[in-house]
């Protein structure tokens, strides 16, 4: 039985929660607003909230001066590529661990997780050196491989927890009805696995898009994604708040939207199934 | 029951992931270990082709006896500890609040979670410039509005500033996980306690908090692992100046900026050991959950 809640109490909750929510969201809101101001208005005191001359000028300047599209494209390729590659490698692995478990399955899963705990800085120079000798430094393919590897444990784990929930009885029933292995995979398993794979893809794109250790250390001019592009704004040059805001808004907008869709899967993915 | 055939097929399906991760773990790890026992200064002509000089544990000793080692350990502890305390305490409170009935719950949730999706370089620079800039930042405007002298955030209160920025990024994570855990709490138990006359504080202390203890442990462990390697936020704000050089940042500087690979690798080995200590505890909890 649900407890009766007075309207008064609900109103109070609503006011407090919205207040705190807006406070936490404010830096993002402010960045978006500032991106539509002129540089002068961006630093006005008292700050301007809504009543300023809205302009798209900053977006044009950022694109023109630094070729934003190239960085965006690098981010898309690296985040998308590493996710796709990771899924291709992880699906069979997670599949076999979920449906044909052996005594060692648990150990393998935990070991995979342990590779995720390796601090990146501890292996920075070896990777740097390998990248130079293999000609991978500042290439999209090199970064795609590294991001695939650092996120592979999370992909395998997430897929494993999703596949684990597919009841084995359904497979048996299909087999009894005379389905061949191919039909079983195509018509029974795949439709049931798609939602889990989709959420894994979503979370992994977010993680890869925002990764900022390897992307900063292994790229220069050619393969730099948006994380590195934004970092180039760390040395200020005159008035630049509005341009920084425009660049930042463009860098985070796609992932904010994806992220809002994936908030439920986020918990499962980031706690390796320990909290659902 | 799985047949022999399906077992070998399973092993084959697992092979690519296992082999790749094994390589990804072992190759750089062995190289780091190897470099850590060598004198390796690429800028002074040392190279793998000419052979590196074996120096025993000299790098390990020099790394911990350098004047920047202990301050970096202290900085790391302050940042990790500060962020953990802030995110867990506020996370519990926020999760309790978001669990209450209200209008527009979904929208509030989205607002609270949003910072987690902001890439570290963006949050670092947005906070550094638009909020913490001592002349034009929002915080400076606010301080002046109340007639106070604006703070020199990133130069004079550098550690607090970094803790604030990183906490802002990780609070959504803690809140979201704790909220998920609270929602799995059996509400009948709470109602029974309420009927027996337990105050809300008592209900929190004796029912909700024990129920959350596992989720809190998981939040602490996972965040610790990520927080130990906080990098971009420092890279774009202070670049390690004003006492914000963490262990991770110190190793990065030794390896890539001053190109003392031997010394940096010894530091890297220390960082790996440290992370593993935390990881062991996390794996235990995750492993237990796997049986259930």
Cβ distance of A252 and B118 shorter than 8 Å: yes
Residues whose CB is less than 8 angstroms from the CB of residue B30 and which lie 6 or more positions away in sequence, other chains included: none
Residues of B in contact with A130 (CB under 8 A): 27-28, 31
Q: Is the dihedral of CA B24, B25, B28, B31 positive or negative?
A: negative
pLDDT in tens, B11-46: 888 899 999 999 999 999 999 999 999 888 888 877
Mean pLDDT of A171-177: 80
Residue of A nearest to B261 (CA): A125
**Which conformational region is residue B239 in: left (phi greater than 0), alpha (psi within -120 to 50 degrees), or beta?**
left
Is pLDDT at B211 greater than 90 in this prediction?
A: no
pLDDT in tens, B92-138: 999 999 998 899 888 999 899 999 999 999 999 999 988 998 888 88
CA distance to partner chain B, nearest, from residue A225 (Å)? 11
DSSP characters for A170-194? HHHHHHHTT--HHHIIIIIIHHHHH
pLDDT band at A87 (very low <50, low <70, confident <90, very high): very high
Q: What is the Cα–Cα distance from B164 to B138, expressed in whole angstroms?
A: 15
Is pLDDT at A276 greater than 70 in this prediction?
A: no
Cβ distance of A110 and B278 shorter than 8 Å: no
pLDDT band at B60 (very low <50, low <70, confident <90, very high): very high
What is the predicted pLDDT for the residue at B72?
92
Residue of B nearest to A207 (CA): B117
Q: Is the CB of residue B212 less than 8 Å from the CB of residue B221?
A: no
Minimum-distance CB partner of B228 among A119, A213, A273: A119
User: What is B66-259's CATH superfamily?
Assistant: MetI-like (1.10.3720.10)
The tokens describing B115, both together, are 């910072």
Q: Is the CB of residue B178 less than 8 Å from the CB of residue B216?
A: yes
What is the predicted pLDDT for the residue at B92?
95
Strand partners of residue B38: B54
What is the predicted pLDDT for the residue at B151?
85
Residues of A in contact with B286 (CB under 8 A): 110, 113, 272-274
Cβ distance of A122 and B130 shorter than 8 Å: no
Is pLDDT at A61 greater than 50 in this prediction?
A: yes
Q: What is the Cα–Cα distance from B37 to A31, expressed in whole angstroms?
A: 47
Cβ distance of A97 and B14 shorter than 8 Å: yes
Minimum-distance CB partner of A234 among B105, B109, B125: B125
Supply the mean pLDDT for chain B: 88
Cβ distance of B271 and A119 shorter than 8 Å: yes
pLDDT band at B291 (very low <50, low <70, confident <90, very high): low
Cβ distance of B122 and A47 shorter than 8 Å: no
More confident residue, B186 or B274: B274
Q: Is the CB of residue B59 less than 8 Å from the CB of residue B37?
A: yes
pLDDT band at A117 (very low <50, low <70, confident <90, very high): confident
Residues whose CB is less than 8 angstroms from the CB of residue B38 and which lie 6 or more positions away in sequence, other chains included: B52, B53, B54, B55, B59, B261, B262
pLDDT in tens, B171-208: 999 999 999 888 888 778 888 888 888 888 888 888 88
Mean pLDDT of B63-88: 92
Is pLDDT at A48 greater than 90 in this prediction?
A: no
More confident residue, A144 or A272: A144
Cβ distance of A231 and B136 shorter than 8 Å: no
Cβ distance of A22 and B228 shorter than 8 Å: no
CB atoms within 10 A of CB B54: 9
CA distance to partner chain B, nearest, from residue A253 (Å)? 9
Q: What is the Cα–Cα distance from B268 to A123, expressed in whole angstroms?
A: 7
Is pLDDT at A142 greater than 80 in this prediction?
A: yes
Mean pLDDT of B54-79: 90
pLDDT band at B2 (very low <50, low <70, confident <90, very high): low
Is pLDDT at B79 greater than 90 in this prediction?
A: yes
Give the start-to-end residue ranges of the domains of chain B.
Answer: 66-259
Residues of B in contact with A120 (CB under 8 A): 229, 231
Cβ distance of A248 and B126 shorter than 8 Å: yes
Query: Among A37, A28, A52, which residue's Cα sits nearest to residue A240?
Result: A37
Cβ distance of B25 and A118 shorter than 8 Å: yes
Is pLDDT at B49 greater than 80 in this prediction?
A: no
User: Which stretches does DSSP call E strand in chain B?
Assistant: 38-39, 53-54
CB pairs under 8 A between A and B: 311
What is the predicted pLDDT for the residue at A162?
87
CA distance to partner chain A, nearest, from residue B32 (Å)? 6
Cβ distance of B268 and A124 shorter than 8 Å: yes
CA distance to partner chain A, nearest, from residue B213 (Å)? 12
CA distance to partner chain A, nearest, from residue B142 (Å)? 9
Is pLDDT at A238 greater than 70 in this prediction?
A: no
Is pLDDT at B266 greater than 80 in this prediction?
A: yes
Asked if residue A12 has a cis previous peptide bond (ω within 30° of 0), the answer is no
Is pLDDT at B4 greater than 80 in this prediction?
A: no
Minimum-distance CB partner of B222 among A43, A115, A270: A270
**By percentage, how much of chain A surpasses pLDDT 70?**
95
Cβ distance of A210 and B225 shorter than 8 Å: no
Is pLDDT at A201 greater than 50 in this prediction?
A: yes
Q: Is the CB of residue A195 less than 8 Å from the CB of residue A268?
A: no
Q: What is the Cα–Cα distance from A129 to A25, expressed in whole angstroms?
A: 41
Q: What is the Cα–Cα distance from B127 to B130, expressed in whole angstroms?
A: 6
DSSP characters for A155-175? HHHHHHHHHHTS-HHHHHHHH
pLDDT band at A213 (very low <50, low <70, confident <90, very high): very high
What is the predicted pLDDT for the residue at A175?
79
Residue for token pair 């898309």: A76
The tokens describing A21, both together, are 């929510």
Is pLDDT at B149 greater than 90 in this prediction?
A: no
Q: Is the CB of residue B231 less than 8 Å from the CB of residue A213?
A: yes
Cβ distance of B268 and A119 shorter than 8 Å: yes
Q: Is the CB of residue A28 less than 8 Å from the CB of residue A252?
A: yes
What is the predicted pLDDT for the residue at A4?
61
CA distance to partner chain A, nearest, from residue B262 (Å)? 10
pTM, two decimals, is 0.88
What is the predicted pLDDT for the residue at A45?
73
Interface test with A, best of B7, B17, B116, B247 (most A CBs within 10 A): B17
Residue of B nearest to A276 (CA): B180
Q: What domains can be seen in chain A, in order of their start residue?
A: 7-59 (no CATH), 64-270 (1.10.3720.10)
Minimum-distance CB partner of A124 among B103, B111, B252: B252
What is the predicted pLDDT for the residue at A1?
40
Q: What is the Cα–Cα distance from A249 to A262, expressed in whole angstroms?
A: 20
Cβ distance of B119 and A236 shorter than 8 Å: no
């Amino acid at each position: 039985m649900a407890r009766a809640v007075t309207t008064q109490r609900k109103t109070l909750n609503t006011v407090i929660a919205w207040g705190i929510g807006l406070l936490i969201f404010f830096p993002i809101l402010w960045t978006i607003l500032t991106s539509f101001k002129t540089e002068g208005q961006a630093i006005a005191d008292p700050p301007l909230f809504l009543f300023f001359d809205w302009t798209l000028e900053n977006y044009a300047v950022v694109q023109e001066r630094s070729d934003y599209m190239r960085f965006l494209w690098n981010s898309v390729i690296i985040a998308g590529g590493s996710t796709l590659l990771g899924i291709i490698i992880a699906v069979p692995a997670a599949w076999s661990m979920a449906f044909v478990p052996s005594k060692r399955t648990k150990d393998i899963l935990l070991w995979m997780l342990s590779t995720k705990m390796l601090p990146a800085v501890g292996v920075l120079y070896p990777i740097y050196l390998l990248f130079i000798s293999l000609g991978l430094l500042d290439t999209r393919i090199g970064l795609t491989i590294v991001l695939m590897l650092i996120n592979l444990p999370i992909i395998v784990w997430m897929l494993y927890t999703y596949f684990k929930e597919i009841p084995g009885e359904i497979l048996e029933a299909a087999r009894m009805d005379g389905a061949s292995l191919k039909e079983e995979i195509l018509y029974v398993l795949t439709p049931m696995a798609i939602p889990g794979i989709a959420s894994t893809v979503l979370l992994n794109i977010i993680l890869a898009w925002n990764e900022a250790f390897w992307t900063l250390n292994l790229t220069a001019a050619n393969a730099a994604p948006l994380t590195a592009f934004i970092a180039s704004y760390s040395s200020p040059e005159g008035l630049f708040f509005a341009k920084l805001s425009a660049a930042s808004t463009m860098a985070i907008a796609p992932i904010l939207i994806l992220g809002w869709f994936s908030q439920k899967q986020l918990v499962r993915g980031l706690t390796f199934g320990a909290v659902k | 029951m799985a047949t022999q055939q399906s077992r070998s097929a399973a092993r084959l399906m697992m092979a690519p992931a296992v082999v790749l991760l094994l390589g990804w773990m072992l190759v750089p790890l062995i190289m780091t270990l190897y470099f850590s026992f060598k004198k390796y200064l690429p800028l002074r002509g040392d190279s793998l082709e000419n052979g590196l000089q074996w120096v025993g544990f000299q790098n390990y000793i020099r790394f911990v006896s350098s004047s920047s080692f202990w301050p970096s350990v202290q900085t790391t502890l302050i940042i990790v500890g500060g962020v953990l305390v802030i995110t867990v305490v506020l996370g519990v409170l926020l999760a309790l609040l978001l669990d209450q009935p209200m209008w527009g719950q979904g929208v509030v949730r989205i607002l609270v979670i949003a910072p987690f999706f902001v890439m570290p370089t963006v949050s670092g620079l947005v906070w550094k410039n638009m909020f913490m800039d001592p002349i034009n930042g929002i915080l400076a405007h606010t301080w002046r509005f109340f007639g106070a002298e604006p703070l020199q955030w990133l130069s004079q209160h550098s550690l607090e500033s970094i803790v604030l920025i990183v906490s802002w990024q990780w609070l959504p994570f803690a809140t979201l996980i704790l909220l998920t855990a609270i929602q799995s709490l059996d509400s009948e138990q709470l109602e029974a306690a309420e009927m027996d006359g337990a105050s809300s504080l008592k209900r929190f202390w004796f029912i909700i908090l024990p129920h959350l203890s596992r989720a809190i442990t998981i939040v602490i462990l996972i965040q610790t692992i990520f927080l130990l390697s906080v990098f971009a936020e420092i890279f774009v704000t202070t670049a390690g100046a004003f006492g914000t050089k963490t262990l991770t940042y110190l190793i990065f500087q030794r390896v890539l900026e001053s190109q003392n690979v031997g010394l940096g690798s010894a530091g890297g080995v220390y960082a790996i050991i440290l992370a593993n200590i935390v990881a062991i505890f996390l794996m235990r909890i995750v492993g237990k959950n796997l049986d259930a």
